[in-house]
Amino acid sequence: MKSRRETLGALCFLAVMGICFAVLAVRFFQEGELRTAWRAAGQEGGFTALSQSAEAAANADLDRDHAFIQIYGGYQRLLGRRVIEDIQNPASTVVKLSDGALNFTTIPQWHADSVLPEHASATIALRDALAEAGIPYLYTVAPQKITDSARQLPAGVDNFAMEECDVFLELLEEAGVETLDLRPWFESHGERYGDWFFRTDHHWRPEAAFAAWGVLAEELEGRYGFSFDPALTDEANYSKTVYEDFFLGSQGKRTGSLYAGVDDFTVYTPKFDTDLTYTCPFYDMERTGPFEASVCFPERVAGRDWFNGNPYTYYAGGDYPLARIVNHNNPDGPKLLLIRDSFACALTPFLALGCSEVVTVDLRYFSGDLLETIRAEEPGLVLNLYAVGTVSNTGMFYRPGGEEGAP
């Protein structure tokens, strides 16, 4: 059996090499980088000059259509490999879960007795400072793909994100911080938990973000007395357009479409009238109009581009240091300030429909004084949303005294 596997591996390797040489041959006759290097070598010293430039030229030709990534990913799939290492950046190593979906894995670490208490203390300090200003604070946790690492991950690969999240929430709750853990809801709803997430990306799908909006709206009404029109959380009041085989996520871009396939992408458009203004001073951005042209970016789904495009940023545009959404059709709604990570991209536009104003802050890029900014905005609530795995980021980036920003 072992010799048979070795023979199959050797045949696959030879096939991959043959495809690579075929691609290079086509590129050579199509005036590729390798042919350019060949001509230059003839003018500059023959074989020695060619040997010095051939490798870079060959890589450039293979990478023009990301052919090398595609071939390599297909080869790894044939071999049945579930871990694709990234030598330069171990944090970008991709692992295939038991259901065939991809996820990043990092060097195993356990923070329960190290940085988690420090980060929790900083988060608690933020809550206390907001309480003095009369501003309520809610720490919300978005789910991640991995719920049972022992079952979902291949042997020898560990992920402690769920355990770290549990410890972090316990520390906050012991100090009386209001928290909302979305994980149980997603684990108990849907036919298959993994369907809430993209197969080739670590983010949740728009369907999951919309569902989270419904859960969050109910919680905000019950806890803080906010009022949201039930029509805003009813999926029947939105049209849905599904772009099939449209999205190759951040993990898929590292492994190619042949390794784990590609994802569909869903666009929600309200059937009711909307009018919003979305601004980001840092990028001199101002967009005004209906939901689908202001807080959404149709240019991000104008064409399919697996390796260079990012349809996920159709919603909210991406990660901005500080941005503001004003809902002209709901001037009497609540005003929220959202401290967010990238999971909030798909949620923010829906949240804005229920509010008069939403101010978003991404502490990874924000360089101002967080507390001073919040006090100046006078929101009715500060909502903190982070996904499992980055759950303690508020404590990492917020420091009492105004020392915010990426370390």
Given 83, 104, 125, the domain boundary residue is 104
Residue 8 neighbours by CB distance under 10 Å: 13
Range of the domain at 33: 2-104
- Residue 49 has a pLDDT of 47
Query: Which tokens is 161 given?
Result: 């994100």
Averaged pLDDT, 82-110: 82
Q: With 90 as the cut, is the pLDDT of residue 64 above it?
A: no
Q: Are 357 and 325 in contact (CB under 8 A)?
A: yes
SS3 at position 129: helix
Q: With 70 as the cut, is the pLDDT of residue 130 above it?
A: yes
Percent of the chain with pLDDT over 90: 66
**pLDDT grade, residue 401 (50/70/90)?**
low
| Cα 398 to Cα 384: distance, rounded to the nearest angstrom | 12
With respect to residue 132, please indicate whether it lies within any of the assigned structural domains: yes
Order the strands of the 276-280 sheet from edge to edge.
Answer: 178-181, 137-142, 381-387, 335-340, 357-361, 322-327, 276-280, 285-289
- Residue 404 has a pLDDT of 55
Averaged pLDDT, 31-52: 50
Q: With 60 as the cut, is the pLDDT of residue 21 above it?
A: no
| Cα 243 to Cα 265: distance, rounded to the nearest angstrom | 5
| Domains contained in the chain, number | 2
Q: Provide the greatest CA pair distance for the chain.
A: 79
Given 49, 71, 104, the domain boundary residue is 104
- Say whether both 333 and 390 belong to one domain: yes
| Cα 315 to Cα 312: distance, rounded to the nearest angstrom | 7
pLDDT digits (tens, 9 = 90+) for 143-164: 999 888 778 989 888 888 888 8
- Say whether both 287 and 140 belong to one domain: yes
User: Which class for 406: exposed (0-12), middle (13-18), buried (19 or more C-beta within 10 A)?
Assistant: exposed
Query: Which tokens is 254 given?
Result: 């590292």
With respect to residue 73, please indicate whether it lies within any of the assigned structural domains: yes
Q: With 70 as the cut, is the pLDDT of residue 41 above it?
A: no
Q: From residue 167, give the alpha-carbon distance in Å to each of 116, 118, 145, 161.
A: 8, 12, 19, 10
| Cα 122 to Cα 150: distance, rounded to the nearest angstrom | 32
- Say whether both 369 and 284 belong to one domain: yes
Give the amino acid at 14. L
Q: With 70 as the cut, is the pLDDT of residue 258 above it?
A: yes
- Residue 312 has a pLDDT of 98
Token pair 């007395």 is at which residue? 225
pLDDT digits (tens, 9 = 90+) for 193-224: 999 999 999 999 999 999 999 999 999 999 99
pLDDT digits (tens, 9 = 90+) for 329-376: 999 999 999 999 999 999 999 999 999 999 999 999 999 999 999 999
- Say whether both 294 and 335 belong to one domain: yes
With respect to residue 405, please indicate whether it lies within any of the assigned structural domains: no
- Say whether both 315 and 194 belong to one domain: yes
- Say whether both 242 and 370 belong to one domain: yes
Residues 6+ apart with CB under 8 A from 65: none
- Residue 68 has a pLDDT of 83
With respect to residue 258, please indicate whether it lies within any of the assigned structural domains: yes
| Short-list 326, 382, 377, CA closest to 356 | 326
User: Which class for 322: exposed (0-12), middle (13-18), buried (19 or more C-beta within 10 A)?
Assistant: buried
Q: E strands, 223-273, where?
A: 238-247, 263-270
**pLDDT grade, residue 172 (50/70/90)?**
very high
Averaged pLDDT, 248-272: 97
**Of 32 and 117, which is predicted with more confidence?**
117
**Of 198 and 78, which is predicted with more confidence?**
198
- Say whether both 302 and 386 belong to one domain: yes
Q: Are 364 and 319 in contact (CB under 8 A)?
A: yes
Token pair 């404590």 is at which residue? 395
Q: How many residues does the chain have?
A: 407
| Cα 270 to Cα 288: distance, rounded to the nearest angstrom | 16
With respect to residue 367, please indicate whether it lies within any of the assigned structural domains: yes
**Of 256 and 28, which is predicted with more confidence?**
256
**pLDDT grade, residue 1 (50/70/90)?**
low
DSSP 8-state class, residue 205: P
| Cα 72 to Cα 78: distance, rounded to the nearest angstrom | 10
Residue 27 neighbours by CB distance under 10 Å: 21
- Say whether both 100 and 144 belong to one domain: no
- Say whether both 185 and 75 belong to one domain: no
Residues 6+ apart with CB under 8 A from 230: none
Across 73-77, 194-198, 305-309, least confident range = 73-77
Q: List residues bridging with 243 in a β-sheet.
A: 265
- Rg of the Cα atoms in the chain: 24
With respect to residue 110, please indicate whether it lies within any of the assigned structural domains: no
Q: With 60 as the cut, is the pLDDT of residue 107 above it?
A: no
Give the amino acid at 338. L
**pLDDT grade, residue 7 (50/70/90)?**
low
- Say whether both 49 and 181 belong to one domain: no
Given 104, 127, 150, the domain boundary residue is 104
- Residue 5 has a pLDDT of 53
Q: With 90 as the cut, is the pLDDT of residue 319 above it?
A: yes
Q: With 80 as the cut, is the pLDDT of residue 406 above it?
A: no
Averaged pLDDT, 177-193: 96
Q: With 60 as the cut, is the pLDDT of residue 237 above it?
A: yes
- Residue 85 has a pLDDT of 85
With respect to residue 407, please indicate whether it lies within any of the assigned structural domains: no
- Dihedral of alpha carbons 267, 246, 215, 251, sign: negative
- Say whether both 208 and 314 belong to one domain: yes
With respect to residue 68, please indicate whether it lies within any of the assigned structural domains: yes
- Say whether both 35 and 158 belong to one domain: no
Q: With 80 as the cut, is the pLDDT of residue 45 above it?
A: no
